[in-house]
Amino acid sequence: MSFEKEWDLEMAMAVLENKTVDSKTWAEAVEWLLLYGPPHIQELLGQASNTATGECFPELQPTGYADDGQPIYDLQAIADSLGISKEEVAKKLAEKEIKQGVRHLFDKKETNKIH
């Protein structure tokens, strides 16, 4: 079963409202909502994600933006911030691409640069 079909809006929202749900399930619900939820929920969660990234990883700055406006980060910068190898970051993102059917890895030539 594809990741998109593992959840629906009602299920994902119920998980977010549950104060006792485990962190893995909560993170999967948020991930699903970011990808497949209604646009207003995607926007709210995207803003929250950007705020959390900025607060938890202030050294991590986008190097560009995808055509849809999503920030693009350098793999080495992510690896340095997380204390893991660049290869490990690339592997995890590639696994997410397969699971979600959504692209996460971009070549620098494909991004809109920050001036």
Q: What is the pLDDT of residues 59-95, one digit of tens each?
A: 998 888 888 778 889 899 999 999 999 999 999 999 9
Same domain, yes or no: 50 and 67:
no
Cα distance between residue 37 and residue 50, in whole Å? 17
Tell me the pTM: 0.75
Same domain, yes or no: 70 and 31:
no
Same domain, yes or no: 21 and 45:
yes
Same domain, yes or no: 79 and 111:
yes
Full residue range of the structural domain in which residue 111 is found: 60-115
Question: What integer pLDDT is reported at residue 65 of this predicted model?
Answer: 84
Same domain, yes or no: 31 and 76:
no
**Pair 45, 33: CB distance under 8 Å:** yes
Stretch 99-105: mean pLDDT = 84
> How distant, in Å, are the alpha carbons of 2, 14, 17, 43, 86 from that of 90?
21, 32, 32, 25, 6
DSSP state of 114: P
Final residue of a domain: which of 27, 56, 85? 56
Q: Give per-residue pLDDT as tens, 7-63.
A: 999 999 999 999 999 999 999 999 999 999 999 999 999 899 889 999 999 999 888
- DSSP letter string over 34-98? HHHS-HHHHHHHHHHHHHHHHHH-TT---SEE-TTS-EE--HHHHHHHHTS-HHHHHHHHHHHHH
The pair of structure tokens assigned to 15 is 């998980």
Same domain, yes or no: 76 and 91:
yes
